[in-house]
Structure 1
């Protein structure tokens, strides 16, 4: 039995702690904040409740496996999990509206064909088929196994171009895929959104990102009743059941090392009160330091008078009418908030989130982080909230008359609550681009120290954070 200290009660830290305690290790979890969940934050006011981080779940099998391996129960025994159907509705840059089914490539192709022309549906489906090739080629080494000591095989993008032959050029970026294979500004907007939601520039990110729309439209999107905070609560309960020593309000200042010269290893952690907590293994779930400039999220929480109308999609994406302006605002030399950005309007059919007869909705936008933009300026935040709400009303104009109040959250709030530099959101790990988009490994140069969470392999996103915990637990092993 090893003494293990986990730093941080984000979802990666909680999941790793539960797995390691289950196999017999003595696990202590130290969290500087008074509560758990990390990015899965929560805001409550006047009987309305909102997720302040991620709101939807992909690949729920990751958390089904966690619950089964740590307590022999189903995920559905711990939370109410619902498939989101339709998967998304879209207001495209030219004003076209299209609704896409959940977990059905055939129905997605049919919907795009009906709205944009049969050729558009065929081209989108063909691109997703090549995204499937990326998924199959990289699923195990990129998601389920530790990053190899020699990651050079993952430096090459496995995306296969539509045309083959000596003269065929493989697309280098996601934007190349759109220009060469989709050839439609409306389809380009659909594809761009998968990059933008993680703060990635489609003009730079490798073509391999096509596995994200393939995965989402093949395997589906899911919602947890009560919001994803309920999932964080379920994983916390599993830690408690496995007798993890949970210490909230306990800040770790640094990892302590020991051993002979040349054979140093992690031997514990130094706490803010000056005491040392000894350990055989230290697992760090804190946000990585030194990551600057990556975009964050602006979130607008909406308390709405009256019940949610029947038939309203859970997720509506309003696309930016000017792609060049949005990319310049996010990734140009002088980052700024885009006045008409790509945004998600989330309206869950969940009576637990609002007082009887009312509705809670959330708008999310990818924005520059705290630093390049001063998100602590109340006037700036208020003005941008006005712009975002006006843009969202293009898709749902009735919201304006029903608004009781709104609350804006910025990358500055994320930074203050989670420690993420600038409030940045970690992206998924991607093959290609000579390894530029691979997350750092879970191991460390210092023996006995491991890293877990969205800032490390296999990258950001709730499912990948859970995979990170699985990988780290496997690296530590059983007693």
Structure 2
């Protein structure tokens, strides 16, 4: 038996009730352990929040689900019950309508490679589909090389091998210079796709995931590959319904939740994690502690304790980009031909990336417009709910408590969305803005930062810390740990943590 394998019923303390933490809690409870989740706020779900007003219902976090197989696996493994029995999944088709700065539009069908290539040829000219198709073949190779180590296995002890770029970029011939290969997604967009609208299409995927195309490795090509291969899905009633379903699964498996319980300290005994101490002084003993929050907070909970072993991946320093969201209540019925998911591209993606990733300036944003055809999110069929989202600098480099700034940026998003919804302003009843400050309050992440998915390449700069720490018995789950941010990745982190606790050194990854 492996040294750390849990062979008896253990007490597990989970810090935070985000989806990744709850996914770990449900799996651990099914394995026979006594699990208690301590959440500092009054509710579960973390970034999967909800805002309701006047019969309108809005997601305040992710609005779409990719790789639903992650959550199908969770529900089967924790109850032999399909995900579709607890939530209604609807494919988003077209997967996205892209509206470029010059007014050109293209609608990309859901999970249809041939359909995507045909649509690109029709909208952007003969040859666009062929060029994008060749790119997707290379993106698939990067996916095949990294899927297991970045989604389904604990972070390898020799994680340095993931520093190598898995994307097989073709060599670019240059006059009087040595050939070069694209090292960043921005270079892939410029050199392999020729820039322009195809390049903007690719760079938009990076921005949506909180990545700068100019620094993200070429391996970020897996992001459009995932969407166009496995599809995009919407949960009826809003994505908050997924968090509700995971929470209810936890309750059904006897996971206990304590809300309004801020963990002040991780208790250490005999050189391992032994429980948590709450802000009111209550101490709860545990055999294992799972941190589902930003792991940098552990340094306050364990002052003076080295948590990251020498030579291992450490949490990134400083705040990461955040998101600015505008919730719109509209009068009038949703048109039958309206797209659920539209991306309105910025006229200057480079300036946008500089503003979002270096601050403090602002630039015209790339705006995601979500307008679901869902009676559950509107008061009646004579109204419509829209959600606008842009990637922005976190609170700190930009002062998102400045009301004038918030109004100005709200207007920027609405102006961009009006290109996709021409009668938007005439139909607008009211709007509500959610800034990085709101995200920081909901998740506890510094500046309202949103974690990006883990990626290979770039010298391993885009990896997240392992699900284990240098303190035995202390584990990490959620978007700030391996395999990183995004609903699919977060769900996988819960599976990895449960496997590591239950099987210990024998665990080799999810099956």
TM-score, scaled to structure 2: 0.90
For residue 163 of structure 1, report the CA deviation from its aligned partner. 4.4
Residue 393 of structure 1 aligns to a residue in which SS?
helix
Q: Report the counterpart of residue 309 of structure 2 in structure 1.
A: none
Q: Is the 2:68–2:488 contact (alpha carbons within 8 Å) kept by the matching residues of 1?
A: yes
Q: Report the counterpart of residue 142 of structure 1 in structure 2.
A: 150
Equivalent position to 2:379, from 342, 355, 359: 355
Is residue 213 of structure 2 the alignment partner of residue 202 of structure 1?
yes
Q: Report the counterpart of residue 450 of structure 1 in structure 2.
A: 475
Q: Is the 1:287–1:420 contact (alpha carbons within 8 Å) kept by the matching residues of 2?
A: yes
What is the CA–CA distance in structure 2 between the aligned matches of 1:60 and 1:161, rounded to whole Å? 29
Q: Give 4+ residue runs of structure 1 displaced > 4 Å after superposition.
A: none
Q: Is the 1:161–1:168 contact (alpha carbons within 8 Å) kept by the matching residues of 2?
A: no
What is the CA–CA distance in structure 2 between the aligned matches of 1:412 and 1:362, rounded to whole Å? 18
Q: Report the counterpart of residue 19 of structure 2 in structure 1.
A: 11
Q: Is the 2:172–2:191 contact (alpha carbons within 8 Å) kept by the matching residues of 1?
A: no
Q: Report the counterpart of residue 355 of structure 2 in structure 1.
A: 329
Is residue 261 of structure 2 the alignment partner of residue 250 of structure 1?
yes
Equivalent position to 2:273, from 266, 271, 276: 266
Q: Report the counterpart of residue 106 of structure 2 in structure 1.
A: 98
Q: Report the counterpart of residue 317 of structure 1 in structure 2.
A: 343
What is the CA–CA distance in structure 1 between the aligned matches of 2:408 and 2:179, rounded to whole Å? 48
For residue 168 of structure 1, report the CA deviation from its aligned partner. 5.0
| The 10-residue stretch of structure 1 (388-397 or 368-377) with the greater mean CA deviation from structure 2 | 388-397
Q: Report the counterpart of residue 412 of structure 2 in structure 1.
A: 387
Is residue 318 of structure 2 the alignment partner of residue 292 of structure 1?
yes
Q: Report the counterpart of residue 370 of structure 2 in structure 1.
A: 346
Is residue 247 of structure 2 the alignment partner of residue 232 of structure 1?
no
Residue 477 of structure 1 aligns to a residue in which SS?
helix
Q: Report the counterpart of residue 228 of structure 2 in structure 1.
A: 217
For residue 10 of structure 1, report the CA deviation from its aligned partner. 0.3
String of CA shifts for 1:265-319, please: whole Å, max 9, x gaps.
0011111111210000000001233742311000000001011110100001000
For structure 1, the residue ranges without an aligned partner over 5 or more in a row are none
Residue 329 of structure 2 aligns to a residue in which SS?
strand
For residue 164 of structure 1, report the CA deviation from its aligned partner. 9.1
What is the CA–CA distance in structure 2 between the aligned matches of 1:212 and 1:381, rounded to whole Å? 30
Q: Is the 1:84–1:223 contact (alpha carbons within 8 Å) kept by the matching residues of 2?
A: yes
Residue 201 of structure 1 aligns to a residue in which SS?
coil
Is residue 191 of structure 2 the alignment partner of residue 180 of structure 1?
yes
Residue 419 of structure 2 aligns to a residue in which SS?
coil
TM-score, scaled to structure 1: 0.96
For residue 478 of structure 1, report the CA deviation from its aligned partner. 5.6
Residue 447 of structure 1 aligns to a residue in which SS?
coil
Q: CA RMSD in A?
A: 1.5
Alignment of 1:397-408 (within 5 A): 397-408=422-433
For residue 184 of structure 1, report the CA deviation from its aligned partner. 3.2
Residue 300 of structure 1 aligns to a residue in which SS?
strand
Q: Is the 1:97–1:115 contact (alpha carbons within 8 Å) kept by the matching residues of 2?
A: yes
For residue 217 of structure 1, report the CA deviation from its aligned partner. 0.4
Q: Is the 2:320–2:357 contact (alpha carbons within 8 Å) kept by the matching residues of 1?
A: no
String of CA shifts for 1:62-103, please: whole Å, max 9, x gaps.
000000000111000000000000000011122111111010
String of CA shifts for 1:106-137, please: whole Å, max 9, x gaps.
10011001111121111111111101001100
For residue 416 of structure 1, report the CA deviation from its aligned partner. 1.4
For residue 337 of structure 1, report the CA deviation from its aligned partner. 2.4
String of CA shifts for 1:409-452, please: whole Å, max 9, x gaps.
00011011210100011000000011111111110000000000
Residue 471 of structure 1 aligns to a residue in which SS?
helix
Count of residues in Structure 1 that have an aligned counterpart in Structure 2 = 473
Q: Is the 1:291–1:421 contact (alpha carbons within 8 Å) kept by the matching residues of 2?
A: no
For residue 321 of structure 1, report the CA deviation from its aligned partner. 0.8
Equivalent position to 2:47, from 36, 39, 44: 39
Q: Report the counterpart of residue 375 of structure 1 in structure 2.
A: 400
Is residue 159 of structure 2 the alignment partner of residue 133 of structure 1?
no
